[in-house]
Amino acid sequence: MFVVENTLLVATDWPNGMITPELAVWAVSIGLDLQTQFRTLCERGITVAYNKAVALALQTKYDYFIFANNDIRPSPTLTQPFLEHDADIVCVECPEPHPAAWSSPSAFHAAMWRASRATLKKIGAPWFVRKYNKQGTKQVRCCCEEFRDKAVRCGFSVGHSGWVDHKTWVRPGSRGD
Ligand SMILES: [Zn+2]
């Protein structure tokens, strides 16, 4: 479910506090007021940033939340599949380094996603946790997969719908090789 007047968009915008113009344009196109229904959060660590984004959202008066990374570039064709999908937690497919990242219907990655207050409260903190191997020398799962599993254990459905591109950040001075 999605009710535009009761929705807040939270964008994680490390390192430079900026979001793509496409994300702002899309937010306005679905009826969000950027003055009141939009927050940003600049935090370097992804897992901490995602947890902080959810915690920040739950401190507001809104009941529905969209979370997005600052480099996300939604297009108007995203709106319907993303907002009308009926899973409790809906994310958007985006380019992922792992080729099988989206092969399961309940695949979840947190580049852009939405959920309700009730869902996030029931799942409870920490929403995102990173899993390492026994020695702690290698990350074995991304924090999104842990979140998805915790949500499913709490009885929620997780789906993905729509597709977004994201910006490739190029380090100043690098030639990209
Ligand atoms: Zn992920």
Find residue 115's DSSP bridge partners.
Answer: 65
153 C-alpha vs ligand 1 centroid, how far in Å?
18
Structural domains counted in the chain: 1
143: CA distance to ligand 1 center in Å?
6
Give pLDDT tens digits for 127-170: 999 999 999 999 898 899 999 999 999 999 999 999 988 875 44
The segment with the largest mean pLDDT, out of 23-27, 57-61, 80-84, is 57-61
pLDDT digits (tens, 9 = 90+) for 88-114: 999 999 888 777 888 888 899 999 999
- Please check whether residue 176 lies inside any domain of the structure: no
Q: How far is CA 70 from CA 1, 95, 98, 139, in A?
A: 24, 15, 21, 24
Q: Is the CB of residue 116 less than 8 Å from the CB of residue 63?
A: yes
Distinct helix (H) and strand (E) counts, the chain: 5, 10
CA distances from 64 to 4, 119, 145, 161, 175 (A): 8, 10, 21, 17, 41
> Is residue 90 situated within a structural domain?
yes
What is the Å distance from ligand 1's center to 16 Cα? Answer: 21
The CATH number of the domain holding residue 109 is 3.90.550.40
Q: What is the pTM (predicted TM-score) of this model?
A: 0.91
Residue 142 lies in a domain: yes
pLDDT (0 to 100) of residue 75: 85
